[in-house]
Every structure is written in C-alpha cells, then in structure tokens.
Amino acid sequence: MRVLITGAAGFLGSHLTDRFLADGHSVVGLDNFITGHRDNLAHLANEPRFSFMEHNISEYTEVPGALDGVLHFASPASPVDYLELPIQTLKVGSLGTHNALGIALAKKARFFIASTSEVYGDPLVHPQPETYWGNVNPIGPRGVYDEAKRFAEAITMAYHRYHGVDTRIVRIFNTYGPRMRPRDGRVVSNFIVQALNGEPLTIYGDGSQTRSFCYVDDEVEGIYRLYNRGDAFPTNIGNPVEYTVKQLAEIVVELTQTKSQISFKPLPEDDPKVRQPDIARARRMLQWEPRVDVHDGISRTIEYFRGLLGTPRMAERVAKRTAARR
C-alpha cells in the first residue's frame, strides 16, 4: 500500500507513519509544522519508502502518484494549541478534511479521519459509547476544535454515503507517550516536564475531573486495525482505565521522585468533568484492547522527556516556549 498521512510530523502522525512503514508499506507524509516537528521524522531520513511534502492541507493539495489510503491526522490537538490557533483549527478540520476527502475520492483510496472524544463535549453519559451524541458548547473556547471535528465526521459520512468512499472514523481519547511536545499544554507532558524541572505541578481546578490515558503504542495499534478491518461508523479507541487529574499528578510525582509541590490553577472554561471511552465496539470488531498500564506508559514517557530535556538544543526551545507563554 501507498498511503498519505497528513500531520505526519505530529505526535500521533509520526507513530502511525512508523507503523505503516514497519509493515512494508510506503508513506507520503504531509505537514506544515505549526504544531508538528521535523525531529519526529528525522529517523526516516534514509527510508526510501517514506517521502515528505511540507504543505498546509487546508489549502489546495496535489499529491503525485497512486494512493491506496488517505489518513487525515493534521490538526492542533492540545487545548492550549487550539486556543492559540482557533482559525487554523477550524480550517484544518473543515477545509482540510474536505481536501483530504477529495484526494481519497480522486485516487479511489480509503479515507481515515482522526476524530476525538471532544465530540462528546462535557459528557452527560458516562462512559461514552459511540451512540452518544455529545454535549458540546459550539461557541465556547473549545468549540473551534469540537465543532471542526464534528463537521469532519459529518462530511466523512457524506462522502461515504454520497460518493461511496470507503471511510473510517476514529474517536481518539487522551493519548500520551514519546514525541509529545514538552509544554504542549496537555496534562501528561506538563506534569512530567514540571516534575523533571523541579517546578510545581499545575492542577487546574481541584483535580477531581477525570481522564482515561492511553499509551501511544496501544492507540496506534487500535488505529491501524481500524484502518485495515473496521467499518464506516465511528469507533472509540482509548484506554478505559479512568483517573482523576490529581491521581495522575501523584503517579508522576511517585515515578519521577520529584520534590515538586502541587499548585492549583483555575479550571479552563468548558473543561470536561469526566471522560472514559466505552470500547466494547473496538473489542468486538477489532479484537483490540490496550495493554500498557499507566505506570508503565508514564515511566516510558518520563524516560523520553529526560533524554529530551538533557539535550541543550531542546532545553533552550522549552525555555523559550515557557517564556512566551508566561
């Protein structure tokens, strides 16, 4: 197979690229580096089955040659990023998805959209099955991401029903692991980087809100199986083991053995109070379930960030980003 992966320089996009290459396929990666980074693809510099286009998928896109699949993973995905990049986030979920679908239609390729647990908003049903329609504030600060992804799902189903495109929709729940950007604003990367730097861990609100954290290898395996043998309807892929944010902070403190304190900050607007995937559908259809326990996954992620923060270039980048955000 030869597939196009948008957002290939991002956290998930780069791991997914590796997964396709590992199975002997060819990948065309596309990214404009607004949140992705070249370092995530550096190990593929001499890989003949990998090629790269620096481009914004929200603009007209031409990809030379045949394609068997188009996987649209480009988007700011951390709340801090999509609050800083609201228009780009709306555009890549709407215009970007439209362009990616157009490519799939023209090439007679399978289409796969990276959707999100955010389509459930601040959920009133817990855990969240795919049949739940969600509780989203369309005009709140998170609406730019939530509604773009909801539009992406709608246009994907329209291309499936009207044009007969073979499509897949994954709803990704909080995923973490190596290649997350330090200071990308997400809770796992924030806590680990803060703990390693001896800074206070910033809990937003009282820390009683919950999330369910999936290690990247599990997430990518679920996505890969869904691509190969799923159907057109949305499928949750995530780890159903649920933690409060406070419990997560305690795990990070324990595993890093940091002397950092906890500091409490205001809860961002519309921050979902609970989140846990119902993965019965993925279990049944894909014989998939997550294998990596959070302690194990967080330990591996700590090792990654330790290595990264030890390198002078990265330390400088992190310091700059922190200064810019103060």
Which residues contribute to the site for ligand UDP (CB under 6 A)?
78-79, 174, 185-187, 190, 202-204, 209, 211, 245, 267-268, 271
Q: How far is CA 138 from CA 42, 121, 134, 172, 256, in A?
A: 38, 10, 11, 20, 39
Q: How far is the CB of 288 from ligand UDP (least distance, A)?
A: 22
Q: How far is the CB of 189 from ligand UDP (least distance, A)?
A: 8
State which residue, 128 or 174, has the beta carbon closest to ligand UDP.
Answer: 174
Query: Computed from CA positions of residues 253, 214, 116, 272, in that sequence, does the dihedral angle turn out positive or negative?
Result: negative
Q: How far is the CB of 25 from ligand UDP (least distance, A)?
A: 30
State which residue, 160 or 275, has the beta carbon closest to ligand UDP.
Answer: 275
State which residue, 102 or 272, has the beta carbon closest to ligand UDP.
Answer: 272
Q: How far is the CB of 256 from ligand UDP (least distance, A)?
A: 15
Is residue 227 within 8 A of residue 168, CB to CB? The reply is: yes
Strands 175-176, 214-215: pairing is parallel
State which residue, 79 or 234, has the beta carbon closest to ligand UDP.
Answer: 79
Active site residues: 145
Q: How far is the CB of 178 from ligand UDP (least distance, A)?
A: 16
Cβ neighbours of residue 129 under 8 Å, at least 6 residues apart?
A: 236, 278, 280, 281
State which residue, 70 or 192, has the beta carbon closest to ligand UDP.
Answer: 192
Strands 69-72, 2-6: pairing is parallel
Strands 210-212, 242-244: pairing is antiparallel
- Torsion angle of the four alpha carbons 281, 284, 286, 288, in this order, in degrees rounded to the nearest 10: 90
Is residue 5 within 8 A of residue 114, CB to CB? The reply is: no
State which residue, 14 or 190, has the beta carbon closest to ligand UDP.
Answer: 190
Q: How far is the CB of 206 from ligand UDP (least distance, A)?
A: 10
